[in-house]
Amino acid sequence: MIGLTHYLVVSALIFSIGLIGVLRRRNLLMLFFATEVMLNAVNIAFAAISHFYNDLTGQMFAFFIIAIAASEVAVGLGILIVLYKRYGSLDLDELESMKG
Amino acid sequence: METLVYIALFAPFVSSMFAALFGMSPRKTFVGIVASLLLLISFAASVMLMMHIYATGTGIHVRMMDWISAGDLSIPFGFLVDQVSVTMMVVVTLVSTVVHVYSIGYMDHDKSFNRFFSYLSAFVFSMMILVMSDNFAGLFIGWEGVGVCSWLLIGFWYHKADVTREENPSISPSWAANEAFIMNRIADLGMLVGLFIVYWNVGSLQYDAVFSALPHLSGTVLNAAALALFIGAMGKSAQFPLHTWLTDAMEGPTPVSALIHAATMVTAGVFLVIRANPLFSVTPEVSYFIAALGTFVAFFAASMALVNRDLKRIIAFSTLSQLGYMFAAAGLGAYWIALFHLAAHAFFKALLFLGAGNVMHAMNDELDIFKMGGLKKTMKWTYLYMGVASLALAGIPFFAGFFSKDAIIETAYNEGTLVLWAILVVTAGMTAFYSFRQVFLTFEGDERYKAFGIHPHEMYKFVLVAMSPLGILAVIAGFGKGSFEHFVTKLLPEYHMSEHTHHIAWLLGLIVLAFAVSGIVLAYKKYAKKLVRDEKVENSFIYKLLANQYYIPKLYEEFISKPYAMISEHMWKDVDMKIVDATVDGIAKFLYKSGDGARKMQSGNLSNYLNWMAVGAVLLLVVAAFSAMLG
């Protein structure tokens, strides 16, 4: 029987994968993917908990997150394209223009 | 009547503010005239109040507004015009009106003419608050106010540079001003302690409340309060050992010396003792101490005046000496006699100082009486004024000082304190000698000033006319003794000589007179023809001791100022620089260093930032987890 714990473990694993991606990746596009992975990990947790408690609020949140993630990707990809056009690269190590 | 009270009080304030408007602009004669007129108004109001109180026999008590009220503490701005304060008001406003008019002439060539009037009127205002207040807190405000004005006026010529003590015993006006201010601060601490003791035990600072609560207080409290208040009085009235500032205060312009350091401010200490007479009457030990100290100062100051060569300093010493007489009377319980001597002294001492100002004016600010002589030819009127004032000071019959000083000496006899009596009698002789030594050296004998190329001239006419009220009062004030006694003893305790004293009063008077006259005769013999300097006397130990003011200023410098400066330097270099500053600098350095270190985080690399963000998030999680576990 697959219980809540399993879902949460999967969610935590996916979140960790996303977090490692955010910390280790240098390519901006990959960073985006990693954040999406993290968001979806959270979504899984929301949906599972919502089911467990028989409360729809968690699923509602998941929907909101999907909607916001979609719009964020739209804006983010637009910025990425402009960046790539200007600098010819999406490597973060080459985009250090605000060094203190 | 209330309006008159406010007019008397606030006319000097208006005058001060008006003159302050022109403080920075060049000399304008009308500033002096307006100030003098406002002071005259204040004087007229005071006289009308006096007549009113004389007629009705009751004081006027007005309450202007609440000043401090917090918890149980309630101190109103209230003014009490009764027999004692109205006497002071009349004396203060009369002398200050004369001095204001005088200053128009005396400060004629000074470029800070307008500023001078502003300070002078501010002083009068503070003094009026001091004498009129109906509580100790208001008295203290006036007390500090006159202190500040005194500081401003002594240091009026602040631009003069410091010189050595050998060249000028008071070093410089600004030095003298600071000395006066700091010495008064020391005494004011005593005064404040006295006020706290009173408030602590009575719960009020209103005179009437305090005095009616006195019977319920223990002897220790009463003695402590009386002693602490008297320490405050000692500072303002320059009693030993806080006396050195008064002679140094002569660095100020002469009208200031006349008004503040002779006639009014320095008598504030005596006024305090008279005002608080219910307190001092129930503390006989403190009162006796006051009388003894006063007698000692009377003699001590007179001895220094014997050999001094500085025109103004001689008068300053004589002021000290006369203040000693007043304290002696107050300490012996003859409060009304003390007040009477205070008023009479104000008239002739102010006159004496103003005369000295005329002489200074004529002699191009020369003060050494050994360089004067024979001035009577050019300065007839000044000679007359100073002569009259000196006769009054010496206590020659029918001049003002005779009635008041004789009464004090008689009191000392009446109380059975024969030692005090003897000292006061001898001092009276010394007083006569040094006053006339000064007068004769200045106005009689050979014209020594010619050697210095000085061409003396008499003061302006209007100044001489302005001085005449003081001159007249110095002659006739004594005749008001009977009605004055009748007037003020409605409030102050009466003092009667015993039958025995009454019988031999003529003999006592004769003894004092003999001393005074022989003092004058001695001065005449020695100095009236020409100045003969005796090397042997001038090099003798006693002469040097007196001329150097018993080396007290030097002692203060060696044993108080210098160690204090050393401690201050030590505190500065070792404590302030090495501990306080080092701590503050350390904090600043730490912030700089940590900021410098944290700057490296700002790498511009988004990936780095994200890593830091993750670290921060983890840290916050840890904190949250810990607090959840603990809480």
Cβ-Cβ contacts under 8 Å, A100 against chain B: 599-604
- Average pLDDT along chain B, 631 residues, taken 10 residues at a time: 90 93 87 93 94 89 84 84 92 93 88 90 93 91 93 90 81 90 92 92 88 89 93 90 89 90 89 92 92 93 89 91 93 91 92 90 84 83 91 89 89 88 92 91 84 83 89 88 87 85 86 91 86 80 84 88 93 91 94 90 83 92 93 76
- The chain A residue lying nearest B611, using CA atoms, is A23
Q: Are the Cβ atoms of A92 and B605 closer than 8 angstroms?
A: yes
CA nearest neighbour of B237 among B191, B198, B203, B196? B191
| Closest CA–CA distance from residue A47 to any residue of chain B (Å) | 23
| Euclidean distance between CA atoms B241 and B243, whole angstroms | 6
> What pTM did the predictor assign?
0.80
Q: Where are the alpha helices (DSSP H) in B214-276?
A: 219-236, 244-248, 254-258, 268-275
Whether residue B543 contacts residue B537, with contact meaning beta carbons closer than 8 Å, is answered with yes
Report how far residue A75's alpha carbon sits from residue A96's, in angstroms, rounded to the nearest whole number.
21
In whole angstroms, what is the distance from residue B331 CA to residue B276 CA?
Answer: 12
Q: B610–A22: do the CB atoms touch at under 8 Å?
A: yes
| Three-state secondary structure of chain A | CCCHHHHHHHHHHHHHHHHHHHHHCCEHHHHHHHHHHHHHHHHHHHHHHHHHHCCCHHHHHHHHHHHHHHHHHHHHHHHHHHHHHHHCCCEHHHCCCCCC
Count of structural domains within chain A: 1
CA atoms within 13 A on the CB side of B489: 14
Domain membership of residue A39 (yes or no) is yes
* Longest CA pairwise span in chain A (Å): 54
Contact criterion met (CB < 8 Å) for A92 and B606: yes
Residue in A closest to B606 by C-alpha: A92
Is A30 within 8 Å of chain B by CB?
no
Per-residue pLDDT at B549: 84
The residue among B379, B376, B402, B378 whose CA lies nearest residue B389 is B402
Interface of B with A in 313-372 (CB under 8 A): none
- Phi, psi torsion values for B498, nearest 5 degrees: -70, 165
The verdict on residue A56 lying in a domain is yes
Per the domain annotation, does A99 fall within a domain?
Answer: no
Q: Cβ(B89)–Cβ(B346) under 8 Å?
A: no
Q: Where does the pLDDT of residue A100 fall: very low under 50, low under 70, confident under 90, or very high at 90 and above?
A: low
- On chain A, the residues whose CB falls within 8 A of the CB of B604 are 96-100
- Dihedral-angle region of residue B354 (phi above 0 means left; psi in -120 to 50 means alpha; beta otherwise): alpha
Between chain A and chain B, how many beta carbons pairs sit less than 8 Å apart?
35
For residue B214, give every residue at least 6 positions away whose Cβ sits within 8 Å of its Cβ, in sequence order, or none. B222, B278, B279, B282
Q: Is residue A24 part of a domain?
A: yes
Q: Could you tell me if B267 and B342 are in contact, meaning their C-beta atoms sit under 8 angstroms apart?
A: yes
Report the sign of the C-alpha dihedral through residues B469, B472, B478, B480, in that order: negative
Nearest Cα of chain B lies from the Cα of A100 at a distance, in angstroms, of 5
In angstroms, what CA-CA distances link B142 with B5, B218, B555?
A: 16, 29, 32
Task: Give the structural domain span for A70.
Answer: 4-92
In sequence order, what are the residues at sequence separation of 6 or more whose Cβ sits closer than 8 angstroms to the Cβ of residue B450?
Answer: none
Residues of A in contact with B606 (CB under 8 A): 28, 31, 92, 95
Q: What distance in Å separates the CA atoms of residue B300 and residue B270, rounded to the nearest whole number?
A: 18
Distance from CA of A98 to the nearest CA of B (A): 4
Mean pLDDT of A6-12: 94
Residues within 8 A of A (CB atoms), B 548-607 only: 599-607
B599, B606, B614 member nearest A100 (Cβ): B599
* CB spacing of B601 vs A95 below 8 angstroms: no
By residue count, chain B amounts to 631
DSSP B528: S
Residue of B392, B395, B380 whose CA lies nearest to B473: B392
Kindly state whether residue A100 falls inside one of the protein's structural domains. Answer: no
**Is B604 in Cβ contact with A93 (below 8 Å)?**
no
Q: Which of chain B's residues have a Cβ under 8 Å away from the Cβ of A97? A: 604
Residues near B617 by Cβ (< 8 Å), separated by ≥ 6? Answer: none
B-chain residues within 8 Å CB-CB of A23?
A: 607, 610-611, 614
3-class secondary structure for B418-484?
HHHHHHHHHHHHHHHHHHHHHHHHHHCCCCHHHHHCCCCCCCCHHHHHHHHHHHHHHHHHHHHHHHH
- Which token pair is B296? 């000692």
- Cα distance from A37 to chain B (closest Cα, Å)? 16
Closest-CA distance, A20 to chain B, in angstroms, reads 10
CB-CB under 8 Å, A19 with B607: no
Q: Read off the amino acid at residue A4.
A: L
Q: B359 and B372 in contact (C-beta within 8 Å)?
A: yes
Give domain status of residue A97, yes or no.
Answer: no
**Cβ neighbours, 10 Å, residue B91:** 25
Distance of CA B381 to the CA centre of its chain: 28
Q: Do B602 and A19 touch (CB under 8 A)?
A: no
CATH classification at residue A25 = 1.10.287.3510
